[in-house]
Amino acid sequence: MIFSSSKKFIFFAVPKTGTHAVREVLRPLLGSDDWEQQMLTGRMLSPVPEIANIGHGHISYRQLTDAVGQDLVASCFSFAIVRHPIDRFMSVCAFLARTDPNYTDDPVAWAKRAFGFERFRQRVLVRPQSDLLTDDKGELALSFIGRYEQLGDDLGQICDELGAPLVQLRRRNVTSNEKPKIHSDNGFLRELEAFYSDDFSLLGYDRS
């Protein structure tokens, strides 16, 4: 997450949607009282204790409003980048299995086995993206939601809104593992589509 009181914007970082490339574009805009929370490229914590104690940078709209108040959040331009739920799940699996030598034997079997554990499904990297972006009524609460699939164009719109120049995007946090070919297993694909049903309906992605 990035919270800029000087520029009046909030970036909600959805995992595996190019967030670290986006952060690089946004950081030059930040003033001395603005803050960022992330752990992957160095420990950066919010000055708000309730947010810092979450321990990672993927803060939800509801967590932030509980900590700083809905009026403050509503006064800012808030945005996030999202990704097709199945493609994102495949990327998450490849990322989480990057140190597991058994993954390359059968990536789909690894993904199915991992998904069978409730603890795995509840990880912030795995949970539906909409969980991070909705209010208490289950409605999308952000000013703008861009798509990973058209990241350059949508980030350009964000920069226009912020009055900032759009710099060249660089790829960051790219996983070298092959993604599991989930579409080869219809049963598992239907299971994932049910799990991510809110993402499909709220974010406007087509099911396979």
- The SS3 assignment for 135 reads coil
In a domain, 63, yes or no: yes
Judged on CB neighbours under 10 Å (0-12, 13-18, 19+), 145 is buried
Residue 5 confidence (pLDDT): 96
Can you state the angle between helices 186-195 and 85-96, rounded to 10 degrees?
Answer: 100
In a domain, 78, yes or no: yes
Which one-letter amino acid corresponds to residue 126? V
User: What are the C-alpha distances in Å from 158 to residues 28, 70, 92, 164, 208?
Assistant: 14, 22, 25, 9, 29
In a domain, 164, yes or no: yes
Residue 174 confidence (pLDDT): 60
In a domain, 183, yes or no: yes
Q: How many domains does the chain have?
A: 1
User: What are the C-alpha distances in Å from 191 to residues 27, 31, 100, 116?
Assistant: 38, 45, 24, 11
In a domain, 23, yes or no: yes
Successive 10-residue mean pLDDT values, the chain, 208 residues: 97 95 92 92 90 96 97 97 97 94 94 97 98 97 97 93 79 72 95 97 91
Residue 163 confidence (pLDDT): 87
Beta-bridge mates of residue 36: 2
Q: Could you tell me the residue range of the domain that residue 193 belongs to? A: 2-203
Residue 122, C-beta contacts closer than 8 angstroms, at least 6 positions apart: none
Distance from C-alpha of 144 to C-alpha of 161, rounded to nearest angstrom: 10
Residue 116 confidence (pLDDT): 97
In a domain, 208, yes or no: no
Residue 120 confidence (pLDDT): 97
Residue 118 confidence (pLDDT): 97
Residue 199, C-beta contacts closer than 8 angstroms, at least 6 positions apart: 82, 85, 128, 129, 130, 205
In a domain, 133, yes or no: yes
User: What are the C-alpha distances in Å from 108 to residues 92, 122, 123?
Assistant: 12, 19, 19
